[in-house]
Amino acid sequence: MRNTFKTALLAAALLTGSGSAMAEENFFLWLVNFTRQKEVQPVDNKAWNEECGSCHLAYQPGLLPGKSWAKLLDEKALADHFGEDASLDDDTLKALRVYALENAADKSWHKRSRKIAQATADGEAPLRIVEVRYIKRKHHDITEKMIKGNKDVKSLSYCNTCHTKAEEGIYDEDTVDIPNFGGHDYD
């Protein structure tokens, strides 16, 4: 019993000293939080769905850290949002910014969002989800032929093209169906 306690204490010390644990604002609270989920918090904001979802998938805020959303949801940035004018009125912009920052990867209890937060903790804030180191690693075995050479996919930016439950915040491999290649066992 005494050795078990010492082992547990040593494990806790090692965990809290590691980089991943340090990325958490309150590691113990995160560890004992029973509401944390595996995937990404689905979008539950009507304005977010309407404004962002009118042009593309209404990406969940948990797919990027707050520092990225702060850059993306800036008046000047929205005037040239990846080549499009996505300008919003001040009230809508303020509401969407608040929603994004409150639900960003670095504020989420969802496991996949926490991994994204950890991968983006240092360095520049990525402006594209596909620039996140964690996301790149998860897609490393997807060939260019399957994406850019695939008329039904074209880019990793179209998450919901292959991730059949993306709108629900589910990005597990077993929900992947790459058009013209099939499910996650696409060998």
Sequence-separated (6 or more) residues with CB below 8 Å from residue 57:
158, 159, 160, 166, 167
Give the pLDDT score at 38.
77
Q: For residue 19, tell me if it sits in a domain.
A: yes
The reply to whether 58 and 95 lie within a common domain is yes
- pLDDT score at 133: 94
Please name the amino acid found at residue 149. G
Residue 71: which domain range? 38-129
Q: Within a domain: residue 134? A: no
Are 26 and 63 members of one domain?
A: no
Q: What is the pLDDT of residue 42?
A: 95
pLDDT of residue 157: 92
Instruction: Determine the Cα–Cα distance for residues 111 and 91; give it in Å rounded to an integer.
Output: 31
170 with 110, same domain: the answer is: no
Residues 81, 111 within the same domain: yes
pLDDT recorded at residue 22: 40
pTM: 0.78
Residue 145 lies in a domain: yes
The C-alpha atoms of residue 167 and residue 158 are separated, in whole angstroms, by 12
Same domain, 76 and 145: no
Residues 28 and 43 reside in one and the same domain? no
**Together in a domain, 175 and 148:** yes
Residue 144 lies in a domain: yes
The low-confidence residues of the chain, meaning pLDDT below 50, are 14, 16-24, 36, 187
Cβ proximity of 162 and 178 under 8 Å? yes
Same domain membership, residue 94 and residue 50: yes
Residue 120 confidence (pLDDT): 95
The total number of structural domains that make up the chain: 3
Q: Which of 50, 61, 51, 49 is nearest to 103 (CA)?
A: 61
- From the list 63, 33, 40, 58, the residue with the least C-alpha distance to 48 is 58
What's the pLDDT score for residue 20? Answer: 42
- 173 found inside a domain: yes
Q: Examine the domain organization and report whether 50 and 97 are in the same domain.
A: yes
